Amino acid sequence: MLTQSSRSLLDLSIHFKMIPVIENRVQFAHAFDASHVSALVLRHCNLFEFATLLERAYRNGLSIYVNIDQIEGIHADSAGLRYLDDHFHVAGIISNNPRTLSLAKQFSLETIQRIFAVDSTGLETALESVDTQHVDLLDISPALVVPYVIPCLEKPLPLPFIASGLIHTSQQAQAVLRAGALAVTVTRSELWL
């Protein structure tokens, strides 16, 4: 029986700055070998194939987050979100859809709104649309732009943020963290350690 970790990503990121992005069973199994991992983001995978690995993750105290916009087999509607909560016991979801995030709050899931920083104007417009009643955390993507755009924003971000996308080196990740990100999600397993 799956049992969810009750820790929030806001709390976890204080100690563990790299959050693995899991897309297959090999990556999932490898995440257990990384000593500084306390949360995982699942995307581009089928959760139904991960039941055993999810149980092991929960036993190890890992919190599981699902990018609902990029997952197979679960739709981002009330039924899908209820299933994620009731059967997979995920800690939260990531989505760029405000309606999905609002629905997820009905199931007490932690919500992370993904915002694409195409340019500074687009980023500011996207930030104005954030409903802090339904969103707990932001995910700024691509992470590489964070050191350049976050300090230049006219208004401070309405919520704490993580960053994702295009991180290839530890130096890039550290620059993003120095710019204010609580954590960085990364697919490269060599950065999980």
Q: Where are the domains of the chain?
A: 9-191
> What number of other Cβ atoms are within 10 A of residue 107's Cβ?
15
Residue at token pair 């999905």: 100
Residue type, 66: V
Rounded-to-integer distance, Cα 22 and Cα 3, Å: 19
Question: Has this prediction a pTM greater than 0.85?
Answer: yes
Q: What is the pLDDT along the chain (193 residues), one digit of tens a residue?
A: 445 555 576 775 556 789 999 999 999 999 998 878 889 999 999 989 998 999 999 998 899 999 999 999 899 999 999 999 999 999 999 999 999 999 999 999 999 999 998 877 778 788 888 999 999 999 999 999 999 988 888 778 889 999 999 999 999 999 999 999 999 999 998 998 6
The CATH number of 9-191 is 3.20.20.70
